[in-house]
A = this chain, B = another copy of it.
Amino acid sequence: MSPAPKKVLALAGGVGGAKLALGLARVLPPERLTVVVNTGDDDTFHGLHVCPDLDTVMYTLAGLADPERGWGIAGDTFWTLEALGRYGAPTWFKLGDLDLATHIRRTELLRQEWALSQITQELCRRLGVKQRVAPMTDQPVRTVVVTEEREMAFQEYFVRRGSQPRIRGVRFEGAPQAAPSPQFREALAGAEAVVFCPSNPVVSIGPILAVGGVRKAIATFRGPRLAVSPIVGGQALRGPAARMLAELGEEASCVGVARRYAGLCDVMVIDETDRHQAQRIRELGMDVAVANTVMRTDEDKEALARLVCELAGL
């Protein structure tokens, strides 16, 4: 009898996380990969339940993602949104016609009392995604960004306001009371390795860690735990990670990311550009691997995923 396949639990937010998830999907058999995705950014637009990070991961694994924009479906049109604008509805959150089908279907199934994790499984199946993709929780969690102006939902801060308001803090409403989704629980119990994808440590990985019991489960996880820094040379590859860390008084670098993962992560993968930071991260009690972490092509994604699997001894 062959041993049970070694499973990987990847924690992801949107674009950066989806890239490494795709790399992992290309190097691992599908049954070995569970991607657990942040849902703190979920929001309601036009009465439709939108899960930006889940959809980015799902579309990316389905080969549908728009590689240019970093959100939505490639080649999508915006007829409905334009017509909604004509009716006076707010249109700052861009929802394409193909993308809208996801939100309409999800909202309808939620209304029929399906759990978000079941819905995600169903949508993925329909799109031919063979890996397990799951929300971090089936309960509502809401990332609230406390800015100098006022508190706002993450999409308002990020999309509508272009991450311009200075932040003072971030809160994950509902997270402590929320339970990990069934797929997340199963992976926390049965995976051989945990991978922190290169997603925003504050508002992508942060909410996942805030879900009831998750931080402890990862702190006491018995297998290797690896993280890829989303910050390279002091800059986030995409999104407001560096800016947010700085405004929170933390270091906007791979070291700042590592500090957030101290006690939760064994190996930090940093970019060649940040080689000089390796010693500072080791001082936090982690091993460091240096690699090209900027995933421009599918080959880059695969190479990074292969390295991560190798470091995890898979």
Residues of A within 8 A of B (CB): 46-48, 76-77, 79-84, 86-89, 97-98, 100-102, 104-105, 107-108, 111, 122-123, 126-127
Contact = CB atoms under 8 A, between A and B. Distances in A.
Contacts of A127: 86
Number of copies of this kind of chain in the complex: 2
A67 to B, nearest CB: 19
A126 B86 contact: yes
7 contacts: A77-B77, A80-B80, A83-B100, A83-B101, A87-B105, A87-B122, A89-B108
Contact of A89 (B84, B98, B105): B105
Given A83-B98, A101-B84, A107 B47 contact: yes
B108 A80 contact: no
A97 to B, nearest CB: 4
Contacts of A102: 83, 87
Tell me if A's interface is mostly helix, strand, loop or mixed: helix
B100 A80 contact: yes
B46 A87 contact: no
Given A47-B104, A104-B47, A107-B47, A126 B80 contact: no
Contacts of A47: 104, 107-108, 111
A127 B122 CA distance: 37
Contact of A79 (B46, B79, B107, B111): B79
Contacts of A126: 86-88
Nearest to A96: B79
Nearest to A79: B97
Nearest to A84: B101
Contact of A48 (B77, B79, B104): B104
Contacts of A87: 101-102, 105, 122-123, 126
Contacts of A77: 77, 79, 97
A104 B85 CA distance: 12
Contacts of A89: 101, 104-105, 108
A126 to B, nearest CB: 5
A94 to B, nearest CB: 14
A100 B104 CA distance: 10
Nearest to A128: B86
Interface core residue of A86, A102, A123 (most chain B CB under 10 Å): A86
A87 B97 CA distance: 14
A74 to B, nearest CB: 13
Contacts of A83: 97-98, 100-102
A102 to B, nearest CB: 7
